[in-house]
Amino acid sequence: MDSIRVTGGNRLNGAIPISGAKNAALPLMIASILTPETLTLENVPRLTDVQKLAQILNNHGIDITIAGKRAGQGEGYSRTMHISAAEIVDTTAPYELVSQMRASFWVLGPLLARCGKAKVSLPGGCAIGTRPVDLHLMGLEALGAEIELDAGYVIARAPGGLKGGNITFPMVSVGATHNVLMAAAGAKGTTVIENAAREPEIGDVARCLVAMGAEIEGIDTGTLVVHGSGALHGATHAVLPDRIETGTYAMAVAMTGGDVLLENTRMDLLQAAFDVLVEAGVTVTQTNEGVRIARNGAGIRPVHVSTAPYPAFPTDLQAQLMALMTKADGVSTITETIFENRFMHVQELARLGADIRLNGETATITGVKTLKGAPVMATDLRASVSLIIAALAAEGETTVSRVYHLDRGFERIEEKLGRCGAQIERISA
Ligand code: UD1
């Protein structure tokens, strides 16, 4: 198993290209199920989660080809993907595949819309809490699906096809919104989704569905009105920039000090996180090429942050912010309200010398002068990158093992950080 070795102490200076968003690329790939015509996605990141989903879609009979680099791109970050679901040969998504990637559960809605039936394993995914799927099922039932659970599988049928319906989610769920939005786009009639998640990746999928022929009102708001016609067509769509990757590198620069341009990304995608960084003493500027992050001289000021659904501070940046606050001049608090059990990085950060106390869903972080390198272990996708951030500012050498978690969501992180001056290398086992 690969590991990553970081020797801390270098400031980051230069430019980092931001890839297409993983959390948009995955549902966009799944949206291809809704049409027999080709869906072309540009700016798809090179990630193991994307490869895995491609395998899962292959299993349904979907053909995927990947073209070379995007015009104007040097070393081939992100790619163009042509996806053709001309014929769905299998409507079952087996446990062996779905358990490897939670988002693959989202094939349920589109398969039902296209084929009138689907059998999809209950998911696995990152070990960050129980993560049920009740809201997905509730939403699909509102569109007329008949659902039963049997031996770890969701068995769903819609004999006459899915029909428009009204759904008010009792809590905000990104995945349930994606699943029901895609199903509604492939259903006949009008669906109203209230309390929909407003994450930019949902807006991105909605825009792609519009390009595929769906009529959707309220994009980027909490109420989506979808006029499905039952027949979507092919389209070409570029995946929006990855706001979590953007925020992660912004925190890395905040941690080490320096000046880095995050290319091809936008500040408005993660305003809440940038507001926190500014409060912490970091300079953030939108330029024509991307977002510039700088911290020179001044220390890191402590902050008090709570995660919540978009547009608030994202849970997917919670671990990275905590890593940053381990070196703040004072005491910070971070409260995690989305997932229980999303504090697995705390123990590993402590191995580097961080002072963090946990009380229920709140972590209290007392900044320390010095972090010291140590062997640590990645436990989930976002936790693993928080260890890299801490390691960049730690004295000496840190080895992060189990980096397959990182490869799920960060495109060639060692290369991107290395070109800005970090001492970081992958050690292949
Ligand atoms: C997505 C993101 C993940 C991010 C999360 C929250 C992708 C591929 N993943 O995950 O990176 O951390 O949004 O922003 O885009 N819940 C239920 N019942 C359900 C569904 C969810 O109770 O049927 C709960 C979950 O346990 C959790 C909360 O709702 O506590 C939010 O989960 P959700 O927004 O659905 O997260 P995911 O879509 O799994």
pLDDT digits (tens, 9 = 90+) for 277-288: 999 999 999 999
The rounded Cα 231 to chain-centroid distance in angstroms is: 29
Query: Residue 130: which pLDDT band, with cuts at 50, 70 and 90?
Result: low
Q: Among the residues of 222-303, which ranges form H helices?
A: 243-256, 271-279
Instruction: Give the separation between CA 72 and CA 308, rounded to whole angstroms.
Output: 37
Domains 3-16+242-427 and 24-238 belong to one CATH topology? yes
Task: Provide the pLDDT for residue 41.
Answer: 98
Across the range 84-110, mean pLDDT stands at 94
Counting from 1 in the atom list of ligand 1, the atom nearest the Cα of 103 is 8
Task: Provide the pLDDT for residue 71.
Answer: 42
* Cα–Cα nearest to 19, from 82, 77, 80: 77
User: How far, in Å, from the CA of 339 to the mean position of ligand 1?
Assistant: 8
Task: Provide the pLDDT for residue 348.
Answer: 95
Counting from 1 in the atom list of ligand 1, the atom nearest the Cα of 171 is 29
Task: Provide the pLDDT for residue 131.
Answer: 63
The question of whether 208 is a catalytic residue gets the answer: no
Report phi then psi at 383, rounded to 5.
-60, -40
Token pair for residue 217?
Answer: 């009102």
75 has a pLDDT exceeding 60: no
User: How far, in Å, from the CA of 190 to the mean position of ligand 1?
Assistant: 25
- Cα angle for residues 381, 390, 269 (degrees, 5° grid): 55
Element (H, E) at 286: strand 283-286
User: How far, in Å, from the CA of 38 to the mean position of ligand 1?
Assistant: 29
Contact 94, 55 (CB under 8 A): no
Mean pLDDT of the chain: 94
Query: Which of 100, 141, 173, 336 is the pocket-test mutation for ligand 1 (most atoms within 8 Å of CB)?
Result: 173
Which bin fits 268, alpha (ψ -120 to 50), beta or left (φ > 0)?
alpha
Task: Provide the pLDDT for residue 124.
Answer: 59
> Whose alpha carbon is nearest atom 35 of ligand 1?
173
Query: Residue 55: which pLDDT band, with cuts at 50, 70 and 90?
Result: very high
Instruction: Give the separation between CA 182 and CA 164, rounded to whole angstroms.
Output: 12
Counting from 1 in the atom list of ligand 1, the atom nearest the Cα of 26 is 8
Task: Provide the pLDDT for residue 77.
Answer: 72
Instruction: Give the separation between CA 325 and CA 304, rounded to whole angstroms.
Output: 10
Exposure string over 282-314, b if 16+ CB within 10 A, otherwise e: bebeeeeebbbbbbeeeebbbbebebbbbeebb
Query: Which of 126, 131, 140, 180 is the pocket-test mutation for ligand 1 (most atoms within 8 Å of CB)?
Result: 131
User: How many CB atoms sit inside 10 A of residue 370's CB?
Assistant: 10
Task: Provide the pLDDT for residue 316.
Answer: 97
Across the range 121-128, mean pLDDT stands at 64
What counts of helices (H) and strands (E) characterise the chain? Answer: 14, 24
74 has a pLDDT exceeding 60: no
70 has a pLDDT exceeding 50: no
* Cα–Cα nearest to 417, from 255, 266, 295: 255
Q: Which fold has domain 24-238?
A: UDP-n-acetylglucosamine1-carboxyvinyl-transferase; Chain (3.65.10)
* Cα–Cα nearest to 350, from 334, 329, 364: 364
User: How far, in Å, from the CA of 129 to the mean position of ligand 1?
Assistant: 10
Ligand 1 cavity residues, CB under 6 Å = 23, 26, 102-103, 129-136, 171, 173-176, 315-316, 338-339
User: How many CB atoms sit inside 10 A of residue 84's CB?
Assistant: 18
> Whose alpha carbon is nearest atom 37 of ligand 1?
175
Task: Report the amino acid identity of residue 143.
Answer: L
* Cα–Cα nearest to 318, from 280, 274, 273, 266: 273
User: How far, in Å, from the CA of 288 to the mean position of ligand 1?
Assistant: 33
pLDDT digits (tens, 9 = 90+) for 376-391: 998 888 889 999 999 9
Cis, bond preceding 159 (omega within 30 deg of 0):
no
Going from N- to C-terminal start, the domains of the chain cover: 3-16+242-427, 24-238
User: How far, in Å, from the CA of 381 to the mean position of ligand 1?
Assistant: 14
Counting from 1 in the atom list of ligand 1, the atom nearest the Cα of 129 is 26
* Cα–Cα nearest to 409, from 19, 16, 117: 19
Task: Provide the pLDDT for residue 297.
Answer: 82
User: How far, in Å, from the CA of 407 to the mean position of ligand 1?
Assistant: 20
* Cα–Cα nearest to 74, from 264, 290, 287: 264
Query: Residue 6: which pLDDT band, with cuts at 50, 70 and 90?
Result: very high
Query: Residue 126: which pLDDT band, with cuts at 50, 70 and 90?
Result: very low
* Cα–Cα nearest to 269, from 290, 293, 294: 290
Task: Provide the pLDDT for residue 429.
Answer: 79
Exposure string over 248-279, b if 16+ CB within 10 A, otherwise e: bbbbbbbbbbbbbbbbbbbbebbbbbbebbee
Q: What share of the chain is helix, strand, coil (3-state, %, to 5)?
A: 35, 30, 35
Query: Residue 187: which pLDDT band, with cuts at 50, 70 and 90?
Result: very high
Task: Report the amino acid identity of residue 96.
Answer: E
Task: Provide the pLDDT for residue 178.
Answer: 98
> Whose alpha carbon is nearest atom 31 of ligand 1?
173
> Whose alpha carbon is nearest atom 29 of ligand 1?
173
Counting from 1 in the atom list of ligand 1, the atom nearest the Cα of 339 is 30
Cα Rg of the chain, angstroms: 21
Task: Provide the pLDDT for residue 322.
Answer: 98
Across the range 154-158, mean pLDDT stands at 96
Query: Residue 72: which pLDDT band, with cuts at 50, 70 and 90?
Result: very low
Query: Residue 138: which pLDDT band, with cuts at 50, 70 and 90?
Result: very high
Instruction: Give the separation between CA 334 and CA 42, rounded to whole angstroms.
Output: 36
Contact 138, 180 (CB under 8 A): no
4 has a pLDDT exceeding 50: yes
Token pair for residue 174?
Answer: 């990104």
The CA–CA distances, whole Å, from 211 to 35, 40, 111 equal 12, 11, 19
Query: Residue 258: which pLDDT band, with cuts at 50, 70 and 90?
Result: very high
The CATH superfamily holding the domain 3-16+242-427 is Enolpyruvate transferase domain (3.65.10.10)
Query: Residue 68: which pLDDT band, with cuts at 50, 70 and 90?
Result: low
Counting from 1 in the atom list of ligand 1, the atom nearest the Cα of 314 is 14
Task: Report the amino acid identity of residue 312.
Answer: A
Query: Which of 52, 104, 174 is the pocket-test mutation for ligand 1 (most atoms within 8 Å of CB)?
Result: 174
> Whose alpha carbon is nearest atom 38 of ligand 1?
175
